[in-house]
Amino acid sequence: MHDIRDKKVIRERLLGGRAALDPGVRDAAARALRDGLLAVPELEMAGTVAAYVSVGAEPDTRSLLFALWKRGTYVLLPRLLPDGDLDWASYEGPGSLAPGPRGLLEPTEPPRGTAAVASADVVLVPALAVDRTGTRLGRGGGSYDRALARVGPAILTVALLHDGELVDELPAEPHDQRVRAALTPSGGLVRFA
Ligand X SMILES: Nc1nc2c(c(=O)[nH]1)N(C=O)[C@@H](CNc1ccc(C(=O)N[C@@H](CCC(=O)O)C(=O)O)cc1)CN2
Ligand Y SMILES: Nc1ncnc2c1ncn2[C@@H]1O[C@H](COP(=O)(O)OP(=O)(O)OP(=O)(O)O)[C@@H](O)[C@H]1O
Binding site for ligand Y (CB under 6 A): 7, 137-146, 173, 175-176
CB of 166 to ligand Y, least distance (A): 16
Q: How far is CA 139 from the centre of its chain?
A: 11
Select 45 or 101, whichever has its Cβ closest to ligand X: 101
**Considering only 21-29, 102-110, 170-178, 184-192, which stretch makes contact with ligand X by CB under 6 A?**
102-110
Read off the DSSP letter of residue 104: -
Q: Is 59 in the site for ligand X (CB under 6 A)?
A: no
Read off the DSSP letter of residue 172: -
Give the count of alpha carbons within 13 A of 65, CB side only. 25
Select 58 or 165, whichever has its Cβ closest to ligand X: 58
Bridge partners of 137, per DSSP, are: 129
Residue 131 near which of ligand Y, ligand X, none (CB within 5-8 Å, type-dependent): none
Residue 36 near which of ligand X, ligand Y, none (CB within 5-8 Å, type-dependent): none
Q: Is 55 in the site for ligand X (CB under 6 A)?
A: yes
Q: Is 139 in the site for ligand X (CB under 6 A)?
A: yes
To 10 degrees, what angle do helices 23-38 and 62-70 make? 30
Residue 69 near which of ligand Y, ligand X, none (CB within 5-8 Å, type-dependent): none
Select 80 or 189, whichever has its Cβ closest to ligand X: 80
Any residues with CB less than 8 A from the CB of 149 and at least 6 apart, and which? Answer: 177
Coil, helix or strand for 97?
A: strand
Q: Is 80 in the site for ligand X (CB under 6 A)?
A: yes
Residue 53 near which of ligand Y, ligand X, none (CB within 5-8 Å, type-dependent): ligand X
Q: Hey, which bits of 19-132 come out as E strands?
A: 48-50, 74-80, 86-90, 97-99, 105-107, 122-126, 129-131
Among 36, 59, 126, 185, binds ligand X (CB under 6 A): 126
Exposed e or buried b per residue across 142-177, where buried means at least 16 C-beta atoms within 10 angstroms of its C-beta:
bbbbbbbebbeeebbbbbbbbeebbeeebbbeeebb
Q: Rule CB under 6 A: which residues touch ligand X?
A: 52-56, 58, 78, 80, 86, 102-104, 126, 138-139, 141, 143-144
